[in-house]
Structure 1
Amino acid sequence: MKTITVELGARTYPIHIEAGLLGRAGEFIAPLAKGRRIAIVTDANLATHLATLQASLSAAGLESEAIVLAPGEGSKSWATLEMLCDRLLELGIERGDNVVALGGGVIGDLVGFACAILKRGCQFVQIPTSLLAQVDSSVGGKTAINTRAGKNLIGAFHQPAMVLIDPKVLDTLPIRELRAGYAEVVKYGLIDDLAFFEWCEANGAALLAGDLGLREYAIAHSVSAKARIVAADEHETNGTRALLNLGHTFGHALEAETGFSQALIHGEGVAAGCSLAFGFSAAQGLCSDEDAQRVAAHWRDAGLPDGLAAAGVDASGARLVDHMRHDKKMAAGTLPFLLARGIGGTYLDKTVDLTDVAAFLDAQAR
């Protein structure tokens, strides 16, 4: 087993990574549960994993109650949040209890936010079942729901008590979801780790094809990188954690344009967004065209969109920039961008003119 620690003082917590860990989850949750019944929140697509988890909890002497939600981004809503909070209160959840989030990023985000506000804060355990959630959203404590104004605009920082990652559960993940999660893996190389990006170029195809050893390595490497960044800047106040948003400003605009729907799922938006961030950086003379083309080529090799057309987006630069104006990172009319001086050379730029961004996007559409 690989264990990585997120160092946050009194709120420090472990991330355990091991193939088959879901079947042993009860051993790790029992010391936190203190004999109390466990509430599990999951979605309707994860019945097999839910059965495995409940059997594990039962073997550890714990009773459990499952709350099964509809799958998909639509569950990150006010209505579902209200229903979930009401149901957890009906179950008698106390501040010292741990709710288990069994699912991908949608479940993790929703459950984390519910636990952040329920009785002014109760605890939760993340058991991510998608690659994207395993390498990104389950770690770091960002929780949120979506609104008509945009994605993840209502939320809170609320760290989990523990994260349990079982790479074997990815065997049941649809290939599209696996590729979307892989975009977040590659992102760590693009941020500040050229050697890891090169590792992805050499091993990405085999990882996506099912090599368990490569998946475990990629997950552990990604989680270690995120844990280090979160420990240095938990609430995104000094600019370090902002680096994790590489590709997201462009990507969220593409997701907004497609209605936050299955037309373009989050990891696909991140891949296309990273390509656009590198393309814009090259257009501004910050990095070479070769680097931008190399990033785009890797997305194509992985079956991910490398820009506007591949993402299925046909919109003016002005319209996409208008989506960006709703970004939660907007401050005093300025939107910071993650740009790159090369692969592994990402930095935060607060001087970008949105008019230049719109012109760049219009050029990409031609």
Structure 2
Amino acid sequence: MSPQSILPTPGITDKLLVDSENMTSATETNTIRLTHGEKYLTSSWYKGSGEIAHKKDGRSFEVSATFTLKAEVKVVEGVFQPANETLANIYNSRGRCVAVIDQTVNELYGEQIRKYFDAHEIPLKMMAFRAWEADKTPETVHHILEFLGKDGCDVSRSEPVLIIGGGVLSDVAGLACALQHRRTPYIMVGTTVVAAIDAGPSPRTCTNGKQFKNSIGAYHPPVLTLVDRSFFRTLGTGHIRNGIAEIIKMAITDDAVLFELLEKYGPRLIETHFATLGEDEELAEIADDIIYRALFSYMKHEGTNMFETYQDRPHAYGHTWSPRFEPAVKMMHGHAVTTGMAFGATLAVKMNWLKPEERDRIIALCQSLGLTVYHPILEDMDVMIEGQKNMRRKRGEGGLWAPVPRGGIGACDYIQEVPPELLEAAVTEHKAVCGNLPNHGAGVEMYLSDLGLK
């Protein structure tokens, strides 16, 4: 059988649109571009196309494929108020809603959520899971899969699962959706600051490994993220503080205006839980603006580089060494990130990428919000160097690619390698810089145990 005889013939099937190009170059290849008909879509959120090129010797071919998805992010008010039809419009046509909810969120908002779906006459199947940092394990992912699978709700691969909770739940439940039918869509309603502006819309779903945070996972973003800051009202102040660290990282690396807003309004946002305590309408508008700017900066880079194909990722600022030292000392994630950010700023000063006064503004902002900028774990060179080795493996063959600010606040660049002698010198300098700070740079409620977590 000749190679030509195995090619699809236009007209014999309506499943594929075929565009065949005969090329008579030295390689003697034929390329066929294939585009699938819209009626065969598995889900309305995902599309794809590709091409196959084979050599005329009939012994080798190459396949190239493109996967396209749309992921929408909306800042909304009263997502579970019956008058808000955003979710009802999605689930009405599907005849039910299958939801995974954080156990604590269920205790606070479960009745309101059930009343919402009752009001719209949509059957709701909702399962609550505890989602502490200690629960960020493969076992939790398997428990969620049992609920979604044949022995539970038997979710279809075109049926969007509703996830309601914080950052841990978004990571593990998102990973479960990635595994269910190899790709099941989901909608994320983040109920913490971290989930709302970082972990929730992120395509990175994951669970922890034994020694390295978030080391097991898959790229699978929610098809829709709904951000409703009214949930922040019932959060502990420590969780507000923890989450605002993820906004700071985008301000430093991408949005100088956002940084100035945080300098001016950050303490009030923490005090009022993003203007959900009290009736300050002006602050509420500012809170929505800050949330939107943080989301836009984050997804501008994260969303358009969905599979981390490239490592010029500003949102990884503060996340180069912290994934190793955070679990070692059981720090809150936001405090570990700000420690990494402050150290990264000092490293940038050491490399003449940043002025000392700009580094000092970064440290001052973090300190004004009660976030940690220095911890003695930085002095453990074995931990720091091991963290770099782990990150090189994670980020590919090109190097460490540690993002740090360069040329002022609101811009960044990427350090390909940090030799041990530079690393140690930067730690020594950062320790000296933070030595005169209150509590030597320690933050408020900086450990998991401070907030009753394990």
C-alpha separation in 1, matches of 2:68 and 2:86 = 19
* Over 6 Å off, 4+ runs: 6-9
C-alpha separation in 2, matches of 1:14 and 1:25 = 21
- Equivalences for 1:35-46 in 2 at 5 Å? 35-46=94-105
C-alpha separation in 2, matches of 1:117 and 1:14 = 21
Is residue 83 of structure 1 aligned with residue 143 of structure 2?
Answer: yes
| 1:190 partner amino acid | I
Q: Work out which of the two has the higher radius of gyration on C-alpha atoms and give 1 or 2.
A: 2
Alpha-carbon displacement from aligned partner over 1:263-310 (angstroms, at most 9, x marks no partner):
x1111111111101101111222211111111111111001111225x
C-alpha separation in 2, matches of 1:292 and 1:175 = 26
Match of 2:243 among 175, 178, 181: 181
C-alpha separation in 1, matches of 2:46 and 2:187 = 17
CA 1:268/1:24 → structure 2, altered by over 3 Å: closer, same or farther? Answer: farther
CA 1:214/1:22 → structure 2, altered by over 3 Å: closer, same or farther? Answer: farther
C-alpha separation in 2, matches of 1:14 and 1:333 = 31
Match of 1:248 among 298, 319, 323: 319
1:233 aligns with 305
CA 1:15/1:334 → structure 2, altered by over 3 Å: closer, same or farther? Answer: closer
Cα shift at 1:77:
0.6
C-alpha separation in 2, matches of 1:207 and 1:159 = 28
Is residue 149 of structure 1 aligned with residue 211 of structure 2?
Answer: yes
| 1:55 partner amino acid | K
Structure 1 segments unaligned to the other structure (5+ residues):
1-5
Q: CA RMSD in A?
A: 2.4
Match of 2:78 among 20, 31, 38: 20
Match of 1:298 among 355, 365, 370: 365
The count of residues paired between Structure 1 and Structure 2 equals 353
Match of 1:218 among 264, 287, 290: 290
Cα shift at 1:126:
0.1
User: Larger helix proportion, structure 1 or 2?
Assistant: 1
2:437 aligns with none
Match of 2:131 among 71, 84, 97: 71
1:59 aligns with 119
Cα shift at 1:319:
2.2
Structure 2 segments unaligned to the other structure (5+ residues):
1-44, 48-66, 276-283, 433-454
C-alpha separation in 1, matches of 2:83 and 2:217 = 27
Normalized against structure 2, the TM-score is what?
A: 0.73
C-alpha separation in 2, matches of 1:127 and 1:300 = 30
1:350 aligns with 416
Asked whether the 8 Å contact 1:191–1:345 carries over to 2, the reply is yes
1:274 aligns with 341
Asked whether the 8 Å contact 1:84–1:114 carries over to 2, the reply is yes
| 1:51 partner amino acid | E
| 2:232 partner amino acid | L
| 1:50 partner amino acid | G
Q: Secondary structure at the match of 1:155?
A: strand
- Identity value in percent: 22
C-alpha separation in 2, matches of 1:145 and 1:294 = 34
Cα shift at 1:174:
0.7
Asked whether the 8 Å contact 1:268–1:304 carries over to 2, the reply is yes
